[in-house]
Amino acid sequence: MPDIHQDSSSVPQGQVDHIGLNNEQLKNQLMTTSLIDDLMKVLQTIKNINKYYERLLLGIYEIVGFDRILFFDINRHDFTLCPRLWKGIDNFQKSDFTITLGFEGGEITDAIFLNRHLIVENIAADHDQFSTGLGSRSYIAIPLGSGTTLEHDETAAGRQVSGQHASAADAAADIETTAPLEFMTENERRKQTIESAYFKTQGVFWMDRINRGTPITSDDITALSLIITQSSIILENIHMYNALERANQELRDAQDKINKDLEHAQTIQLGLLPRNLPELPALTIKATYIPATAVGGDYYDAFEIVPGVFGIIVADVSGHGVASALIMSMVKVLLKTFANVNDGPKKTLEKINTIFQTEIETSNFVTVFYGMLDTNGHKLYYTSAGHCPILFFNKKEKTHTLIKADGLFLGIFPDMMLKESCVTYQPGIQRIVLYTDGLTEARNAKNEMFELARLKKAALKTLDDPPEAACKKILSIQKRFCGKNSEPDDDITLLVADF
């Protein structure tokens, strides 16, 4: 039986050396891959662009082993490359290395517009800015950006086009041009390219080995390919993150401004509501207003027109928010302007409606109950323009009647078809409860509305209480019905008047 074991001494020395060299190369590749992986982990934690570029440049310098590295920003406005960071270059003057992006910019700009790395070797002393300025005889230029790819190319002569765009003309074709591409110069095409939305390159690395004098190998290109490709993806994510942060900050700033404006509007609106309601032997009024949002569209007021005659109003502008609040303020101004004893509630509301029809363009409408209380003659004149039913109580007999709408709401139709009514009352035993539909249409967890029937029961329980206490109890009953955590979907106004 033959011996399957082979004496290592019988293996040719050249083969042993070759195996050892391969093992050493494999170890170096594994080490480089591990270092690149560590670098990417660090880059993924960085959100600041400046720190990102600094760490990337240092990583390339340490991992791939170049003596000098320069990173150039692309200045789209000036159509130039501007040095941003460098390593291994003493007494470097940025102003000496601003490079035009035009064709005359040389191989470093070619690398950008060909969208690939370029290796430049055996440079004539007066041929290249990096030769004359830095004494470089060979270097590599590598674009950085989304879509950039690297191919191993030992010389500049074998330039090929790769990446998102085959050339400046291809990128330029993605945006509108003022002239056909075939009639454009190379520099015009380049300018079109960097203006294209598809142009994602962020800058370009320049690097050489002036001290070591060693050539750039395929292993170097492989390592650079990994670093540039992965870091470009991370860079894109950083830009997206920062853009999102800027957008979020702009939204936060805008929201803060809106909130401040709303707070100011709320202050103005609350200032439009009466600070002091009548509290006299002949008339006592209390009211509560709960807006659904910062500003709302409900309005109430009670004011003396002439001695002994008071105007009492509750109005509800459709919707809620700033627009409704503005219309509400108009109603207040117009009411105070037109209210007088010669014109009853019906004529006053008709005058206001005419102003809305001719001067104010809005799709919002207003429901209004407006009454004129004559405490001298013990009469209440009133009209209701589409407003919800009003409760009129006899506190002594514990009875009530409903005052229902007798016309259309204000602001939409030229003819509101209003009617004016009058009741004579016995002083000291009358109570009127006015409200907006936000009170009766509020819902509980079972989606049941509070409704007018529950409001009547609540109001009957409070007839022996003064108006202020009655308001609090009625709203407390309504809140218990809706639930402790329920917020109003619509503005709520409740006004209780004894006369």
- Would you list the DSSP string of 367-413? EEEEEEEETTTTEEEEEEEBPPPEEEEETTTTEEEEE---BPPBTT-
Same fold, 21-164+200-242 and 265-498: no
**Contact between 297 and 491 (Cβ < 8 Å):** yes
User: What is the arithmetic mean of pLDDT over 134-150?
Assistant: 75
Q: Which CATH number fits domain 265-498: 3.40.50.10800, 3.40.30.10, 3.60.40.10, 3.10.580.10?
A: 3.60.40.10
How far are the Cα atoms of 231, 308, 414, 470 from residue 135, in angstroms, in the given order?
29, 102, 89, 94
Write down the CATH number for the domain with range 21-164+200-242: 3.30.450.40
Q: Can you give the pLDDT at residue 209?
A: 93
Q: Is the pLDDT of residue 17 over 80?
A: no
For 154-158, 252-256, 300-304, which range has the lowest pLDDT when averaged over its residues? 154-158
DSSP state at residue 279: B
- Do the bridges between strand 366-374 and strand 309-317 make them parallel or antiparallel, or are there none, so unpaired? antiparallel
Give 476-497 pLDDT, tens digit per residue.
Answer: 999 999 987 677 788 899 999 9
pLDDT band of 381, cuts 50, 70, 90 = very high
Hey, what long-range contacts does 50-59 have (CB within 8 A, 24 or more apart)? 52/234, 52/235, 52/238, 53/84, 53/85, 53/203, 54/85, 56/227, 56/231, 57/85, 57/86, 57/87, 57/205, 58/87, 59/35, 59/227
Q: Can you give the pLDDT at residue 118?
A: 93
The rounded distance, in Å, linking the Cα atoms of 156 and 107 is 8
The rounded distance, in Å, linking the Cα atoms of 294 and 82 is 52
Q: Is the pLDDT of residue 148 over 50?
A: no
More confident residue, 244 or 25: 244
Q: Can you give the pLDDT at residue 56?
A: 94
How far are the Cα atoms of 5, 61, 413 from residue 46, in angstroms, in the given order?
56, 19, 63
**308 phi-psi bin (left φ>0, alpha ψ -120 to 50, beta other):** left
DSSP state at residue 181: G
Measured from the Cβ of residue 410, the count of other Cβ atoms closer than 10 Å reads 28
Measured from the Cβ of residue 448, the count of other Cβ atoms closer than 10 Å reads 12
82-96, 125-139, 258-272, 448-462: which is most confident: 448-462
Q: Can you give the pLDDT at residue 20?
A: 61
3-class SS of residue 60: helix
Q: Can you give the pLDDT at residue 387?
A: 95
The rounded distance, in Å, linking the Cα atoms of 167 and 172 is 9
Q: Is the pLDDT of residue 394 over 60?
A: yes
User: What is the arithmetic mean of pLDDT over 372-394?
Assistant: 95
Q: Can you give the pLDDT at residue 22?
A: 66
**Contact between 422 and 379 (Cβ < 8 Å):** yes
More confident residue, 109 or 295: 109
Q: Can you give the pLDDT at residue 272?
A: 78
DSSP string, 433-473: EEE-HHHHT-B-TT--B-HHHHHHHHHHTTTTS-HHHHHHH
**Contact between 154 and 131 (Cβ < 8 Å):** no
Q: Is the pLDDT of residue 78 over 50?
A: yes
Q: Can you give the pLDDT at residue 293?
A: 78
Average pLDDT over the chain reads 85
Give 187-214 pLDDT, tens digit per residue.
Answer: 988 998 888 888 889 999 999 999 988 8
User: What is the arithmetic mean of pLDDT over 85-110?
Assistant: 89
Q: Can you give the pLDDT at residue 10?
A: 63
Q: Which residue has the tokens 């206490």?
A: 469
**Contact between 227 and 167 (Cβ < 8 Å):** no
3-class SS of residue 360: coil
The rounded distance, in Å, linking the Cα atoms of 325 and 317 is 8
3-class SS of residue 129: helix
The full set of domain ranges for the chain reads 21-164+200-242, 265-498
Give 237-293 pLDDT, tens digit per residue.
Answer: 888 888 899 999 999 999 998 888 878 877 877 777 888 899 999 999 999 998 887
For 178-192, 315-329, 480-494, which range has the lowest pLDDT when averaged over its residues? 178-192
